[in-house]
Structures are given as C-alpha cells and as structure tokens.
Amino acid sequence: MGRIILIFVLCLGLISCSSKMSKIMKSKDYEYKYKMAEQYYANKKYQEAQKLFEDVFPFLKGSTRYEDMYFKYAYSYYYNKDYLNAENLFKTFVENFPASTKSEECEYMRAYCFYKQSPKVELDQTNTNKTMGLMQAFISTHPNSSRVKDASELIDQCREKLELKDYKSAELYYNLGFYKAAAIAFGNVADNFPDSKKSDQYKLQVIKAYFEYAKMSLEEKQKERYEKVLSECSDFSERFNESKYLEEVNKYKTQTLNILKPGKK
C-alpha cells in the first residue's frame, strides 16, 4: 500500500512540474522566462533550463547577458551527457566570443567532450584521436593554463587506449595463426609507441610470431625465416639488455641456432 502511495505522490509531482514548465513556456514575459531558466540551471534541472534558454535566445542576443547564457546553455547539454551537441556548442562559443574570459575553458571542454565520447577499445577510435589533437592544440595555445596538466594526462590516457587497441589487433592475428601478420603488427605497435613501458614485451611477441611463422613454413623457406628470428633476437638484446624478457629471448635464440645447425635440416 505504501509503495502505491509513493508512486502516486511521484506522479503528482511530475504532473505538477510539467504543468509549471508548460505555463512558463507559454508566457510572453521573456524576462520571467530568463529568470526561471537561471533558476532551473542553478537547481541542476538542465533539461528545463535548456528549453528556456533556447526560447529566450532571440530576446537576449546582443545583450550583455547573452554570453553568459550561451555558456550555461552549452553546459546544460554537457551535464545532460549529450556530449555531441555540447562539443558543438563549446566550439561555437569560442567562435562567437573569442575574447571572452570563458573562451579558454570552452576550448578545453570541447576537447573533453570528445574524450567523453571515446568508445571501448575494440571500437573505432576517431573521437580518441580528436581528443588528442584538440588537447595538444589547447596546450600549445594556452601553455600557462592551469588545465595543461589535465590535458596532458588525458592525452596519455588516449595514447594508452590506442596502444591497447593496436596490441589487441596484433594479438588476434597471433591467436588465429596468422603469424607473419602478427609479427608485423606487434612491430608496428612497438614503432608507433616507442615510449611505451611495454616496448620489450611487444618485441618479444615479434620474435615469437616470427619463430612460429618459420616453423610452419615450407622447408625451403625456413632457413631464411629462422634467420629473421635471430635478427630480431639480436635487436632485442641491443635495445633491451636489462629486460626481464631477455632470458626468454635467449631461449628462442638458442633454439633457433640449434635448428639451423648443419645436419638439422
């Protein structure tokens, strides 16, 4: 019974709010509408504020209050998690008010909206790349901004995401038995992210993939392909002579040398 009463009270509240909003929207008093939009925004009722801001745009355009209203209008979309429209509004704010003290914040928020739209690792990373580009542009344009540290950290997060995506693609090739493609893909991950903490791991995966590729090759192709394994092992030893994977790499090197000994083939 209590639950039914609660639902009934909630329904009455929603109807009351809807009725109030409807009356405000029908009003011809734009000052009143603006006041209510500000009130809704302050109370974090962003959807209602958004509708009223839209309605009073023609009335306030060109006034001293227009800039602040546009700023809040953009944020009303952001707070409602409509990052696509929020990004566009932050962009147009900067275009419309380039000299504004809020312009720097809107530039950052535009980039941040792309970050919020960045999908799971497995999906297309267009928005991740846009985040990186815009955050880097922000840092270049505002090197002394208090937001530079946050922008740099977000770039690092995006780079890690792209790195993981490329790694997973290479790993998939390996798991499917496409060893040559896997070796090239792991090599590309290492080349594309030279500062990665996992560079030695990627190089080890290159060696493993080339070893498997040589093992499954036709006999007349094996010598050449095992020599490629040895070349990669030597490169690993030069570049990562303190790696925790060095012992494993040396095992592949020894195993490959034994295979290539005269009389083994």
Kindly indicate the confidence band of residue 12, based on its pLDDT and cuts at 50, 70 and 90: very low
Whole-number Å distance between alpha carbons of 181 and 178: 6
The pair of structure tokens assigned to 246 is 């060095």
- In this predicted structure, the answer to whether residue 32 has a pLDDT above a threshold of 90 is yes
Q: What is the pTM of this model?
A: 0.85
The per-residue pLDDT for 28 is 84
The per-residue pLDDT for 71 is 98
pLDDT digits (tens, 9 = 90+) for 59-98: 999 999 999 999 999 999 999 999 999 999 999 999 999 9
> Are 202 and 185 within 8 A, CB to CB?
no
Residue that is written with structure tokens 């034994």 in the block: 258
The per-residue pLDDT for 15 is 45
Kindly indicate the confidence band of residue 27, based on its pLDDT and cuts at 50, 70 and 90: confident
pLDDT digits (tens, 9 = 90+) for 164-212: 999 999 999 999 999 999 999 999 999 999 999 999 999 999 999 999 9
CATH number of 26-116: 1.25.40.10
The per-residue pLDDT for 149 is 98
Q: Would you kindly state where each structural domain of the chain is located, as residue ranges?
A: 26-116, 118-168, 177-265
Residue 212: is it exposed, middle or buried by C-beta count within 10 angstroms (0-12/13-18/19+)? middle
The per-residue pLDDT for 20 is 80
Kindly indicate the confidence band of residue 122, based on its pLDDT and cuts at 50, 70 and 90: very high
Task: Centre a 10 Å sphere on the Cβ of residue 43 and count the other Cβ atoms it contains.
Answer: 10
Residue 159: partners with Cβ closer than 8 Å, 6 or more residues away? 132, 193
- In this predicted structure, the answer to whether residue 247 has a pLDDT above a threshold of 80 is yes
Query: Smallest Cα–Cα separation from 245: which of 181, 165, 186, 174?
Result: 186
| Mean pLDDT computed over 21-37 | 88
SS3 assignment, position 178 = coil
